[in-house]
Structures are given as structure tokens and as C-alpha cells.
Amino acid sequence: KKEFTVSMADVKNMVAADYVGIVSANDVPNKLEKTGWHVTKSEFVDAPIFEELPMTLECKMLTFDEETELMTAEIVNICVDESILNEKGKIDLNKFQPITYDSANHDYRTIGEKVGNAFKDGKKLM
């Protein structure tokens, strides 16, 4: 259908996110039920949103190159749970605690510790 969502997992949902990635619904038809997650249909694309995951990109495919398997897409909406926003309405990574997969070590890592100031710290070399 050329429409899809990309949800961002967080520390709180790491076990369920890992489970979804390692178990096939062909083998375990109730795999989503085991996670405790709930699904709603996106208002912007014909694809699901996992209610428990705090951030979802809602996308429409623009191009797909079958030879390279590279796809480009347009983000048509970003769905963000209010629980990860700061008082200014911006995403607070300390509240969000998104995770990333470290393929070299087969670990999940959190993202969030501030290490510098964008568009400022580099000026020290000017």
C-alpha cells in the first residue's frame, strides 16, 4: 500500500520490542497480545500505531529501487505521546529514553545523555 509507520521503542518497552523482533506471527499468532501492546489505525496513513510506544513516524513511500533495495519516504505526521514532552512541548530525551540496537555487541543502548551543544561547541575551532 506504500504507507507505513516506524515506531521508536524506549527502555520501558525494550523486552516487548525485542520479542516482536524475534518471534514471527506465523508461529505465534497472539504475539502482540503477549506484549500487552495495543494497536490503533493511523489517521494519516493506512498502517498501525502501537499505543504503548511513545513516538511514531507516519510515512508514505516515494520511491523504491529494487536493485539496491533503497527506499525514500515522506513523513506525513509524527505521533508523540505527551508523557515524553517537556514544559515547552518539545521531546525530552530523559523522559523518552529511546533505545537503539548495537549490532556489534547485540545490545540495546539508551540514547539521551547530553554531551555538547549543537551549532555552538564547534565554534571553539573558529
Strand segments, DSSP code E, in the chain are 3-8, 39-41, 48-50, 55-65, 70-80, 99-102, 107-110
Smallest CA-to-CA distance from 80 within 4, 3, 7 is with 7
pTM, whole model, 2 decimals? 0.85
| Cα(83)–Cα(55) distance, integer angstroms | 10
Instruction: Provide the 10 A C-beta neighbour count for residue 95.
Output: 15
pLDDT digits (tens, 9 = 90+) for 48-78: 999 999 999 999 999 999 999 999 999 999 9
pLDDT digits (tens, 9 = 90+) for 73-87: 999 999 999 999 999
| Cα(38)–Cα(22) distance, integer angstroms | 19
| Cα(43)–Cα(48) distance, integer angstroms | 9
pLDDT at 113: 81
